[in-house]
Structure 1
C-alpha cells in the first residue's frame, strides 16, 4: 500500500534513522533528521538546521538534486488544504525577498501537509 500511496501523490512519513543513513554524505557532522516524508523516490527532510528537498531525477533515479533551505532564510509559507473538487493540498515556501515561491509541494492528504506545516512552523518560528 505504501508504493500505491506514493504513486497517487500521498506522502508517507519516513524513519529518521534510515534517512540519516541515506543522506550521510549530505548531512553535516552531528546534524540530525527530525522528520522526513517520502513521495515515491523524493524526500522532504527536516533537520535541526535546515529543510532539504531531495529530488530523484530520470528513469533510474541515479541523478539527484539536493535543495537546502536554512530555516532562517525562509521568510513565509502558505498551506492550502484540499477541497471537494480540488483534491490536492499544497505547501508553498518563500525565501527572503523572493517574489515567487522557491518550492511548491503537493500532497493528496491534508493529514500529511498539516504535519509538514507544523514542523516547518516550529523550525522557522522558534
Structure 2
C-alpha cells in the first residue's frame, strides 16, 4: 500500500485513457473502464468506473510497481481546490474510511471541476 503521507502525487497531468487502460491490464475487472487518467513523472492516478487506482513506480529501473486500489464506496468526504492567479496548481483531497486523507496535486491546466463531477456521480 502506498504511504500517502510521504508519497509524491504531484504535478499530475492528463494522461491518455487508453494508455492508462493498457498499463492497468491485469488489475482491472473485465467490465471496468478507465474514465480519467493523470500521470506525473513516474506515478499515475486513474479514475475508473469502480475505483481510483494509484500507481507508484518504484526502484531505479521502475520495474517494481505498487497498485493501490481506492474504492469510491470508502470515500467519506472530498475537497477540490481550483487553480488561482498565482497558484496555478489544483488539488483533490479525499478522506477514506480506515485510510485517512489522500491528496493529489494536479499541474496547471487540469480542470478539477470534472473530477468533482466524477466523484459526485459515484458518491451522491
TM-score normalised per structure 2: 0.76
Bigger proportion of residues as helix: 1
Partner SS for 2:110? helix
Partner SS for 2:85? coil
CA RMSD of aligned residues (A): 2.3
Could you list the runs of 5+ residues in structure 1 that have no partner in the other structure? Answer: 1-7
TM-score normalised per structure 1: 0.75
Query: What count of residue pairs does the alignment treat as equivalent?
Result: 115
Q: Which whole-Å CA distance do the structure 2 matches of 1:70 and 1:85 have between them?
A: 33
Residue 59 of structure 2 is matched in structure 1 by 58
Q: Which structure exhibits the higher relative contact order, with contacts defined as CA atoms closer than 8 Å and separated by 6 or more residues? A: 2
> In the TM superposition, what whole-angstrom CA distance separates every residue of 1:50-70 from its partner, at most 9, and x where no partner exists?
111111123322221211111
Could you list the runs of 5+ residues in structure 2 that have no partner in the other structure? Answer: 1-9
Q: Which whole-Å CA distance do the structure 2 matches of 1:29 and 1:97 have between them?
A: 27
Question: Is residue 34 from structure 1 mapped to residue 35 from structure 2 by the alignment?
Answer: yes
